Amino acid sequence: MNPSDDSARGRFITLEGGEGVGKSTNVDFVVEHLRGRGLEVVRTREPGGSPRAERIRTLLLDPAADEPLDQTAELLLMFAARAQHLAMTILPALDRGAFVVCDRFTDATYAYQGAGRGIDRGAIEMLERLVQRGLEPDLTLLLDMPVEAALARMIARGATLDRFETQAPAFFCAVREGYRHRYEAAPQRFELIDAAPALAQVQAAIAAALDRRLAQWGTI
The closest of 184, 189, 97 to 139, measured between CA atoms, is: 189
Q: Residue 153 binds which one of ligand ADP, ligand TYD, none, with CB within 5 to 8 A depending on kind?
A: ligand ADP
Among 10, 14, 19, 98, binds ligand ADP (CB under 6 A): 19
The piece of 4-12, 84-92, 107-115, 186-194 that touches ligand TYD (CB under 6 A) is 107-115
- Say whether 175 counts as a known binding-site residue: no
- 18 assigned to a ligand binding site: yes
Q: Binding marks (x or -) toward ligand ADP, 95..134, rule CB under 6 A?
A: ----------------------------------------
Q: What separation in angstroms does the CA of 90 have from each of 5, 10, 26, 158, 215?
A: 15, 10, 20, 31, 23
Q: Rule CB under 6 A: is residue 189 a binding residue for ligand ADP?
A: no
104's contact among ligand ADP, ligand TYD, none, with CB below 5 to 8 A by partner kind, is ligand TYD
Interface residue with ligand TYD among 112, 171, 179, 190 (CB under 6 A) is: 112
Question: Is 20 annotated as belonging to a binding site?
Answer: yes
Interaction of residue 153 with ligand ADP, rule CB under 6 A? yes
Q: Is 195 in the site for ligand TYD (CB under 6 A)?
A: no
Residue 191 interacting with ligand TYD (CB under 6 A): no
Which of 11, 33, 104, 182 binds ligand TYD (CB under 6 A)? It is 104
> Do the annotations mark residue 122 as ligand-binding?
no
Stretch touching ligand TYD by CB under 6 A, among 105-113, 120-128, 135-143, 183-191: 105-113
Q: How many CB atoms lie within 10 A of CB 44?
A: 21
> How many whole angstroms separate alpha carbon 217 and alpha carbon 57?
33
* Cα distances (Å, whole numbers) of residue 51 to 3, 22, 87, 154, 169: 27, 25, 12, 27, 32
63: helix, strand or coil: coil
Q: Which stretch binds ligand TYD (CB under 6 A): 36-44, 101-109, 129-137, 142-150?
A: 101-109
As a whole number of angstroms, the distance between CA 78 and CA 159 comes to 23
Half-sphere exposure of 149 (CA within 13 A, CB side): 11
Secondary-structure breakdown of the chain: helix, strand, coil percentages, each rounded to the nearest 5: 55, 10, 30
Task: Please give the order of strands across the beta sheet that includes 190-194.
Answer: 41-45, 99-103, 12-16, 139-144, 190-194
What residues make contact with ligand ADP under the rule CB under 6 A?
A: 17, 19-25, 153-154, 157, 198-199, 202
Annotated binding site for ATP: 17-24
